[in-house]
Amino acid sequence: MLSPVWAGSRAAADLSEETWIDAMLEVEGALARAQAQLGVIPTRSAKVITEVARGLRIDAPMLAERSRGAANPVVVLVQELTAAVREVAPAAADHVHLGSTSQDILDSAAMLLVGHTLEVIGQDLSRVAAALAVLARRHRATPMAARTLAQHAVPTTFGLKAAGWLDSVLDAALRVRQTAASLPAQLGGAAGTLAAYEEYARDTAAGRRGHGLELAKHFAAELGLVEPSVPWHSLRTPLCTIGGTLSQVTGVLGKFALDVQTLSRTEIMEVVEPTAEGRGVSSAMPQKRNPVLATLVVSAARQVPLHSAVLAQCMLAEDERAPGAWHAEWQPLREALRLTAGAALTAAELAEGLEVLPARMRRNLELTEGAVVAERLNAVLASRLGKAESKRVLAGCAQRAANGEVTFAEALDEHPELRGHLPADVEQLLAPEGYLGAAEDLVTRVLTRQAREETS
């Protein structure tokens, strides 16, 4: 209710309490399978543990309440799994969680869920990119006012604005892919030495030097995660990296959404959000068409960096397992994932349905009656009056036009210091569409990148 950006989304279900429980159970099964592959436990035990884990349903509220006794949910989860396995195959129960520790299970489960969520985010970013590419291509030559420090600056094109959004989205999508490809499994045992894993293998065929590293390799492969160089129980770079990626994604999408909010203001009205039954309505004012999609995205973008900051701060983890720092990561991580996934989904809907109003862009360009290209005139007149003098004179003309005394063109024509210096084609120089610089070339460059990355 209080976070509608992800309500009802895939992220809401994919990051639920039940899904976290299922992920931890999947990790327990993967550990058993890896140990069976190396001959530490019987293949039969691994099969039973895997099957029971995948079918086990543990009550989330019960698990949460009982977890207060251990400050993490894994201890109780292992108790429940062991009891369930014992009912099927008593001997296999002794092989549940063999040599492991809570952090190995919870961290690895978190990486599974992060990987899945990043995949979903990446899919929605692809939708955003495709929609922005359409806008950039369609409006590559559509003139509008560029605004700096909240005021009209010089002419630009809506196509270039969309291309800027697109380029940032492509950067974020690339980082999502890189982060997803680097997610590590966690396997270190009690304090990161893998000692118990090796000890349980001592009297088996696997009981040789290097067994711990071999187990870590098989375990990571079972989960589809990266084998880390060392256990990272208190080396929390992976979480910081994930947080940074989520902050970048929501920052990029938030910039796009914030621009949409600004451009959809009543006095600007250059773009309009897509319509839908019941969307954008006010509880009090019948005339309102609020930019609610953009609002949801901006809301997420303002929250995620704060959750990511918690993950970054938790890099200050003492010893081989930190009391409190590790525990402080779980909820911020989940909320950052939910918010980012919700923002990406919402931004895709926004980009795909965004309505662009070129006529309003033209009307707004004409508000300054030509002063929006004063920079161009300054470049032309600088060689005749000097750069500083030209700027002073043009500023005075622009001020007269802004005060409503005359139009900018009239102010130029009437200014005594400009007599004999204005070029004959001054009216042409005042046309906004004639002062767009390399806007179209920049759009082409970004569209080329988007096409290349779409097919790679």
Residues acting as catalytic residues: 282, 321
The residues pairing with 155 across neighbouring beta strands, listed in sequence order, are 145
Would you list the DSSP string of 249-294? HHHHHHHHHHHHHHHTSTTT--EEPPP-TTTT--SS-TT----HHH
Phi/psi for 184 (5° steps) reads -95, 150
**Closest to 122 (Cα-Cα) out of 166, 167, 173, 170:** 173
Contact 273, 260 (CB under 8 A): yes
Phi/psi for 152 (5° steps) reads -60, 135
Contact 340, 300 (CB under 8 A): yes
Q: Check residue 236 and report its DSSP letter.
A: -
Contact 307, 394 (CB under 8 A): no
CA atoms within 13 A on the CB side of 161: 24
Would you list the DSSP string of 89-150? -HHHHTTTTTT--HHHHHHHHHHHHHHHHHHHHHHHHHHHHHHHHHHHHHTTT-EEEEEETT
User: Rounded distance, CA 441 to CA 393, Å?
Assistant: 32
Q: Name the region of 75 (left: φ>0; alpha: ψ -120 to 50; beta: rest).
A: alpha
Amino acid at 145: A
